[in-house]
Structures are given as C-alpha cells and as structure tokens.
Amino acid sequence: MLRTSRRCSVSSGPDPSNRFGIPRSVSPFFRHLPLPAAALAILVAVAGPVSTATSQEAAAGGYERTYTIQADACWLPGGRVLSPAFVSLDKGVIARISTTAPPARSTVFGTQKPNIIKVKGTLAPSLVDAWSGLPMAGRDGGRRPLPQSRIAEDLPVMVPGADAALAARVDALRNSGVGFVYLGRTDGNLQRGLGVVTGFSVNDLPYAIGDDWLDFAGTGSGSAAQIRAQDLKTAFDNAVALRDSRDDYEEKLDKYEEDLKKYEESFAKYLEEQKKDGKKGGNARAEDPKSSGKKKDDKRPKRPKRPASPRRNVAGDLILDAIDGKLRVRIQADSEWVVAVAVELVEEHNLDLVLVNAIGGEAYADSLADHGIGVVLDLSRQLAGDDALAEEFLAYRKAGVDVALGSGGRDLGPMLLTLAGELVAAGVDQDEVWRALTSTPANLLGLSGQAGALQRGASGSMILFGGAHPFDASGVFRSHQPK
C-alpha cells in the first residue's frame, strides 16, 4: 500500500526541486546519475540480492503477501543508488533487491508471473524515531508500578479493533514515513521502568522488537537539574551497595552454616557430659539458654543466629542488570549536570548507554565519542525557533558522536521531515541529517539489519519520494506499508 502524505514547507529556494538551494553535486548520496552497464552489473552483484552478516530477519507483524515494487531508483546502504530498482517483499520483509524483475516461478499449476507494482520515484527506508511522541492511549499507568513497569507488557494485542484510537495514531505516523519508534514512559520519576523499540503490525498497532531498555529521566533545569543528577548517581551507588550487602549476606550465611555445624557438635558433646554428670539423666534436651531453668554454671553452647536476608529491591535489581550488561540504558539528559553523571556512570560501570536530549553535552562530546555513547536530539525544539540545534548537531558529529533525531516526545507527524530539513537549511550536510533519521537511530536502538536501510532481511516499510531528496517538499512523498 502506497500512501500519499502532505507536508508543510517552511521555506522556498530558487530551485523548486531543491527548496534549500543546495547544489546537487554537494552530496553524492542524493544524486541519481546513470551508471555504465558494467558498473551496474557490479552493483547488482553486490546489492541484489542484498545480504549482510549483521542482518536479522525483521519481525513479520502479521504480513502475508509476496510482491515486488518497481521504482525509478532506490537507496542502498553505503550511499549507493540502484536504478532501475525492483524491491521484492515477502511477508513484510525485503527478500530481493535488483535492477531486473524477479523471474517467473514454476508451480504445480504452471508458470506464475511475479506480482509487480510499478511506481514513479525513488524508494528509501522508512524513518526510525528514536524519541517518539506516539501516545499510548492512556497506558502510561501500566500494569506494574514504577520503576518496574514494562512497556512491552502494555502493548495491545495485534488483532483488528484491539485499540482503534492507537491504530489511528499509528496510521497517521506511518503516513509520515515513520516505520519504527522507541516507546517509553513519560512519567517524571527518575527511574521510568523498561521501554521498548516497536515496529508496526498489519493492523497499525505497535509490537515489541528486541530487548527492554532501562529508562531514566534526567529532567529539570537549574538547581533541580543538579538534584536530579545527584539522584541518578545515588541510584547506581545504592544498587552497588545492594550487591555488596548481598555478597556480605552470602558470606555471613556460609559462616552461619559452619557455625551451626560446630554448634550441633558442641551441643551433642554437652548432652553427653550432662548424662555423665547425671545432672539431667537421659532426658537432657536443648532448652532455651535464657530460660529460668538454666543454671549459672551451665556450659550449654549458644546456638548461632541466622543472618537477616537483604530486602527485595526491584529498582536496584534492574540497575544491577544494566551494570552486568543485561539491559541497555537510556538517560534523558536535560542539563549538563546529568550528562556529566552519565559519562561518569559509563566510565565506572561500562554501561551500554544512549543519551536523550543531551542539553549542554557538547563539552563532553569527546568523552561521549570515546565511550560510544550515542545521542538523540529533539527536533521539536525548532518549533520554538531554537537555532542552537544545528550547532549542537555539528559539534557532536565533529567529535565523532553518533547522532539521531527524534520527535522529542511530541506527536510531530508530517512535520518530522520538514523540521529535519531545516537543519539542512542551517548548514548540516544532507547525508548526515538523513542518516540521523534512518540508519543511525536504527543502530543506536539495536535494529541494525532490520531498519534504517534497504537490504535483504530488513523491514519492507519504505518511503517513495520524487525530486532530489526526501526533504524536498515540492516533490511527491508517499509511504509504503507492507501487505
């Protein structure tokens, strides 16, 4: 299904096919140049069928049909352009990419020609919103209380009519070209529980892909930001202290078991001595040493006391899982204070971390790059005319930080590409901005091979655009939902 989406234009350039006035020769990724036959043959040999070692089979989402889309061109990983393009889908997943149509298949009923849908324009991967504003239709309460709430448990059942309101919002989001989103709680608590990356089913409902994420809210400004940063550090310190107390408990428990054996041996000897002395005859028994019947000269051994076990701490256990590498971590860093603590936590515990917002984090850009900490910037800031977003993007990229762009928790809808295009107008390279909407967030969210690029095994959720690039508001833009 190809869906047409109207997008708002916020500026116009001298060339109607390139509203930002950027020469097409600047970025080879956005050029559609004819290739020599020999070059095409080499490209097809590499790209069609496309397969990578890191590709994972995308979740089906209830899709059932097999068909091929024939387009003027398609964008491949690594900045390659294939023209013409035949992209074959099987049950929602890309099965083949080539410059030629798939061959007819022989069946028991005879020769079956491929089902080909012809379109005009260039195919590209759908967008990946690493900071989604998709409302969860009142599910923010969740089945479990914070911080152990788990978004994956609160997603609707993937059947028609399971959540009509949510399905309508997902449909609007998909029309905007978005194929994958990160869903997390919007509560202001420090530890927000477990978020999850989702794709969209054939019924326009989100379904979980991959593992859970431990989500923290480093929100606030001024003194509130300092307090939140300290709370974040304290939460991890408390988790480490919890582990230490459990280790101490295990040691104490081992010692208790040893002491108990010694006590039993000593008490057996004590009973034998009692019998010999005839103090209590054969009826000697273990009595409470504090009882009034105990004599002052009684040398009865004292039974060891079992150590008290540590209290159950779900929040601490989740942090310990993150420290042990079992959970990836997201921290919304609305201040430099929180960014600084986040870097410190990665250095101390080797966390697998993604920073969201990262306000004031440019001062730590080199550290973020050194530790492989990705950043998701808030595109919705531009709605208020925040010109600093482009500068922050460039500063992070100059340091080598992987930068993704997200909706900032707002329901941006068709404005996502338009706002991203404003970064291009502000001087950010088109390639960088496009990657920040597709392959970079896919990699940061653990979707490499499933989203963010057209390749075998990836999702068949795509966009089709006309003109020079997807940011060209004067060109045709449609989204494709697998069938």
Question: pLDDT band for position 330 (50/70/90)?
Answer: very high
Each residue's pLDDT tens digit, 367-385: 999 999 999 999 999 988 8
Specify whether the backbone of 79 is left (phi greater than 0), alpha (psi in -120 to 50) or beta. Answer: left
Average pLDDT over residues 416-441: 94
Contacts 24+ apart (CB under 8 A), 464-468: 464/2, 464/71, 464/119, 464/121, 464/122, 464/123, 464/124, 465/121, 465/122, 465/124, 466/120, 466/121, 466/122, 467/17, 467/18, 468/17, 468/18, 468/24, 468/30
* 8 Å CB contact between 266 and 301: yes
Q: What is the pTM of this model?
A: 0.79
* Domains of the chain with bracketed CATH: 2-126 (no CATH), 128-239+314-448 (3.20.20.140)
pLDDT of 11 above 70: no
pLDDT of residue 9: 37
Q: Which two tokens stand for residue 300?
A: 């009865």
Taken in order 269, 274, 280, 286, the sign of the CA dihedral is negative
Are 353 and 346 in contact by the 8 Å Cβ rule? The answer is: yes
Q: For the segment 86-121, what is each residue's pLDDT rounded down to a tens digit?
A: 999 999 999 999 999 999 888 777 788 889 999 999
Task: Give 196-206 pLDDT, tens digit per residue.
Answer: 999 999 999 99
* CA gap 441, 59 in Å, rounded: 18
> Which amino acid makes up residue 194?
L
Let me know the angle formed at the C-alpha of 402 by 149 and 381, rounded to the nearest 5 degrees: 70
The three-class DSSP label of residue 6 is coil
Q: What is the pLDDT of residue 295?
A: 52
Backbone angles phi, psi at 329, to 5 degrees: -120, 140
Report which of 174, 266, 229 is spatially closest to residue 461, judged by C-alpha positions.
Answer: 174
CA dist 100 and 37 (Å) reads: 13
| 3-class SS of residue 122 | strand
Eight-class DSSP state of 121: S
Report the interhelical angle of 223-277 vs 314-323 (nearest 10°).
100
User: What is the model's pLDDT at position 389?
Assistant: 94
> How many Å from the N-terminal Cα to the C-terminal Cα in the chain?
7
User: How far apart (Å, rounded) are the C-alpha atoms in residues 164 and 159?
Assistant: 10
